[in-house]
Structure 1
Amino acid sequence: MLDAVAGPGCEDRPMATAGQWLEGARPRTLPNAIAPVLAGTGAAAWLGEAVWWKALLALVVALGLIIGVNFANDYSDGIRGTDDERVGPMRLVGSGAASPGAVKRAAFVCFGIAAVAGLALAVTTAWWLVLVGAVCIAGAWYYTGGKNPYGYSGFGEIGVFVFFGLVAVLGTQFVQAGRMDRVGLACAIAVGSISTAVLVTNNLRDIATDTETGKRTLAVKLGDPRTRTLHLVLVVVPFVMSLVLVAATPWALAGFLAAPFAIRAHKPVRAGALGLALIPALSDSGVAMLVWAVATAPALAFG
């Protein structure tokens, strides 16, 4: 894919290395794609209807969307010049490592892969899923793309909760079981909350630079103290959902295995960390989300 996305018209910029493309894909965000599929599959198994090849296709959809949105954000922020002073992972366009056109093509290659896998699921499940998939791709692009990106207006967290929580988890359950239930909803709320916490941490880290560049993220609107409180609420929600899921199976308490990682993720946030000091909170939030899903899915499947 790396050669394909480079293509002609790279505006005489140096060719990004494979390592730079990998970093630009932001692999630390992959738990946002893996966790909802695991949780949704566990919820489908709870209904006695887990279909593993559909779970794998759902994973391809989720991975295509998350990597695609990362490249799309890199492209959109890069051409606007809003990435020039940001901390964190390398930006391909902002750093000059790759041309905007190449990064944009990479985003749409990923969206295309997600669309093909999603179409296969729609053909074997329900055609209206094509519309859901189209909305997901549009949501991924317009997060920072277009004239009025919703990620710049304080709605990014809502988008993450909806797309990587409700839609991803309940969609995974539906394509396998043919229906959704309260167990799936509890899993969706749990995964969506901690996935949103990842974005909240990211935007907390970038409050100063986002303010300078005119990005009105939710963190900018709430301010530093209230954003840190919001993070606490979001990392606690999954464990509330674990207690709710006890009504389905007492083994759902296995979700508390993620608690040490959630506590570690919130520690620098609570301590008032800024900038690069918040990077560990990003990775720890992702680990907490993944551990919660890894622990909860088999609890539902075999409990």
Structure 2
Amino acid sequence: MMAEERKIKTDSPQAWLLAARPKTLSGAAVPVMIGVALAWVDTPLYVGGSFSWLAAVLCLLFSFAMQIDANFINDFFDFANGNDDAETRLGPRRACSMGWVKLDSMKRAIALTTCLACIIGLPLVYYGGLEMILVGMLCVIFAFLYTTFFSYQGLGDALVLLFFGIVPVCCSYYVQLHTVTWQVFLASVACGLVIDALLIVNNFRDRDNDRLAGKNTLIVLLGPEGGLQLYLGAGIGAIILGATFWMNGHPLATVLPLIYLLMHVFTYLKIKRIYQGKALNLCLGETARNIFIYGLLVSVGLLLV
């Protein structure tokens, strides 16, 4: 497999596709799906309220662009700082460390995707007001700070909760209805917990290498047993917070995600059984699948009134 990977032509379309990590886009899509679904069902409740599909699409495209931008930033800085060794890495291969993408090319790609995200997000000012500029600026700034600082201080999970839960869900709702209810906020926290499970299993796999590199992730700080409980608790916590859907007149959005919880528990048991090594990448893929299914079940549950 390594020989085949190294044959990928430098800066080729295949190399850039791998660098973009398309499998991670489910984590970018799910919070927007939930925010849009919440806005759609709540639009009739507001006098003069109208739903804009263009605003919804712009939110999704901005989320995709920022996810790819963050992936490029992570790829570049981890390799440039010597924290991404192709020989010792347990996770999926990264473009810069494998030589698929030159560092100078990645610098230009980061500048390009950052500008593209800003261009896509700028029209959202028309729908959500000037505050959308501040939101966009924070997304860009923290995309850099996550890899270069916060992930080393055990704060990566907090940023995932904020920028893969609270910000995208609430903003996708806000650009439609110019308000955020407490039910929407709780739903955004639940979404953030579900997506944080992906970071948890990633850091659980890399805990030994991270400890040696001085990267104090939450898993390094809590230890493997604490990390396992954190993974399980993220899924359970999301389901508990999902009770807000029932209270707001959407019981199916609370009941259907129980399917997700069952899948989450099965993945947890698999993580516990495998415990360490590259085999945990299977659980990483399962967790990404579970996240998408959660988003789909919540959205369908909201729409089937």
What TM-score comes out, normalization by structure 1 length? 0.90
Task: List per-residue Cα deviations over 1:47-68 (Å, max 9, x = no partner).
Answer: 1254221111000111111111
Choose from 114, 133, 137 the match for 2:117: 114
The answer on 1:125 being equivalent to 2:120 is no
Is contact 2:28–2:164 with CA below 8 Å preserved after alignment? yes
Q: State the secondary structure of the residue aligned to 2:247.
A: coil
The answer on 1:164 being equivalent to 2:164 is yes
* Corresponding residue for residue 84 of structure 2: 83
Task: Please identify, of 103-112 and 153-162, the stretch whose mean Cα deviation from structure 2 is larger.
Answer: 103-112
Flag the 1:21–1:260 CA change in 2: closer, same or farther, 3 A: farther
Task: List per-residue Cα deviations over 1:236-269 (Å, max 9, x = no partner).
Answer: 2222133331112122122223234312321222
Q: State the secondary structure of the residue aligned to 1:270.
A: helix
Cα separation, 2, equivalents of 1:256 and 1:114: 34
Task: List per-residue Cα deviations over 1:66-118 (Å, max 9, x = no partner).
Answer: 11101100000010111102122221111122211211222232222221121
Is contact 2:125–2:131 with CA below 8 Å preserved after alignment? yes
- Which residue type is aligned with residue 31 of structure 2? P
- Which residue type is aligned with residue 171 of structure 2? G
The answer on 1:104 being equivalent to 2:107 is yes
Is contact 1:264–1:281 with CA below 8 Å preserved after alignment? no
Cα separation, 2, equivalents of 1:209 and 1:104: 26
Q: State the secondary structure of the residue aligned to 1:271.
A: helix
Cα separation, 1, equivalents of 2:277 and 2:235: 20
Choose from 235, 254, 257 the match for 1:255: 257
The answer on 1:46 being equivalent to 2:36 is no
* Corresponding residue for residue 23 of structure 1: 18
- Which residue type is aligned with residue 62 of structure 1? S
Q: State the secondary structure of the residue aligned to 1:144.
A: helix
Q: Alpha carbon RMSD of aligned pairs, Å?
A: 1.7
Cα separation, 2, equivalents of 1:87 and 1:289: 22
* Corresponding residue for residue 144 of structure 2: 141
Cα separation, 1, equivalents of 2:266 and 2:121: 35
Q: State the secondary structure of the residue aligned to 1:57.
A: helix
Q: How much has 1:186 moved relative to structure 2?
A: 2.5
* Corresponding residue for residue 7 of structure 1: none
Cα separation, 1, equivalents of 2:235 and 2:304: 26
Is contact 2:232–2:265 with CA below 8 Å preserved after alignment? no
The answer on 1:180 being equivalent to 2:180 is yes
Q: State the secondary structure of the residue aligned to 1:226.
A: helix
Q: How much has 1:130 moved relative to structure 2?
A: 0.2
Cα separation, 2, equivalents of 1:267 and 1:16: 39
* Corresponding residue for residue 72 of structure 2: 71
Cα separation, 2, equivalents of 1:280 and 1:187: 28
* Corresponding residue for residue 225 of structure 1: 225
Cα separation, 1, equivalents of 2:76 and 2:147: 9
Is contact 2:10–2:99 with CA below 8 Å preserved after alignment? no
Q: How much has 1:272 moved relative to structure 2?
A: 4.7
Q: State the secondary structure of the residue aligned to 2:146.
A: coil
Is contact 2:19–2:94 with CA below 8 Å preserved after alignment? yes
Flag the 1:216–1:273 CA change in 2: closer, same or farther, 3 A: same
Cα separation, 1, equivalents of 2:227 and 2:194: 14
Cα separation, 1, equivalents of 2:90 and 2:201: 13
Find runs of 4+ consecutive structure 1 residues off by over 6 angstroms. none
Is contact 1:170–1:188 with CA below 8 Å preserved after alignment? yes
Q: How much has 1:234 moved relative to structure 2?
A: 0.6
The answer on 1:36 being equivalent to 2:31 is yes
Q: State the secondary structure of the residue aligned to 1:154.
A: coil
What TM-score comes out, normalization by structure 2 length? 0.89
Is contact 2:58–2:124 with CA below 8 Å preserved after alignment? yes
The answer on 1:56 being equivalent to 2:51 is no
Is contact 1:261–1:287 with CA below 8 Å preserved after alignment? no
Cα separation, 2, equivalents of 1:106 and 1:246: 44
Number of corresponding residues: 288
- Which residue type is aligned with residue 145 of structure 2? Y
- Which residue type is aligned with residue 295 of structure 1? L
